[in-house]
Amino acid sequence: MELPNITILDEKDKRLRLISKEVTFPLTEEDKKNIKYMLDYLKISQIEEWREKYNLRAGMGLSYIQIGIPKRIFVVVDEVEENKFENYILINPKIISNSEELIYVGEGEGCLSVNREVEGIVPRYARITVSAQNMEGKPFTIRVREDLSIAFQHEMDHLNGILFIDKIDPKNPYKNANNMREI
């Protein structure tokens, strides 16, 4: 498998702070190609042999702004079994409901745009329901929980110019951890 030719912006790049714009349909051929590249990149990054070959960090999600394009699109690639993946493509996503329960990633959240270790926890909803459009512009609703819920919220933050590091209290990186469930 060949690594797609995409460049992921680093946290220092000011474009990551842009608020992405709504997408109009039909999608351009360029958009379709970029979505495929993003999905391929994430899949390659999760397969150890390929990750090592291309010297990548594993990633589960990518938002369009991370490749420098301020459009409301993100993708998530979830490894459901070893080397078996489920792809999610969300265009113009909106959270329409969320659980009261909060969770956080025990070993800490990561981001392909943040190339360093970051201490602290990011509060996320345990379950969310999202409305979005598919690549043909057809509306759909999806309910996700646990890891997928975190990934979707992380990517949606990107669409609003927010990085996960913004949500960690610098004075108390583990603030309120006892009010949330670690996953």
Spatial CA neighbour of 25 closest among 159, 114, 134: 134
Cα–Cα distance for residue pair 104/178, rounded to 1 Å: 11
Length of the chain: 183
pLDDT of 114 above 90: yes
pLDDT of 2 above 90: no
DSSP output for the chain: -PPP---PPPTT-GGGGSPPBPP-SSPPHHHHHHHHHHHHHHHHHHSHHHHHHHT----SEEEGGGGT--BSEEEEEEEEETTEEEEEEEEEEEEEEE-S-EEE-TT---BTTB-S---S---EESEEEEEEE-TTS-EEEEEEEHHHHHHHHHHHHHHTT--GGGGS-SS-TTTTGGGSEE-
- Which class in CATH covers the domain with range 14-182? alpha beta
Confirm whether 155 is a catalytic residue.
yes
Cα–Cα distance for residue pair 123/101, rounded to 1 Å: 10
pLDDT of 46-93, one tens digit each?
999 999 999 999 999 999 999 999 999 999 999 999 889 999 999 999
Cα–Cα distance for residue pair 17/182, rounded to 1 Å: 28
In the numeric block, which tokens belong to residue 100?
A: 């009261």
Give the active site residue among 82, 146, 155, 182: 155
- Annotated domain spans of the chain: 14-182
pLDDT of 1 above 90: no
pTM: 0.96
pLDDT of 103 above 90: yes
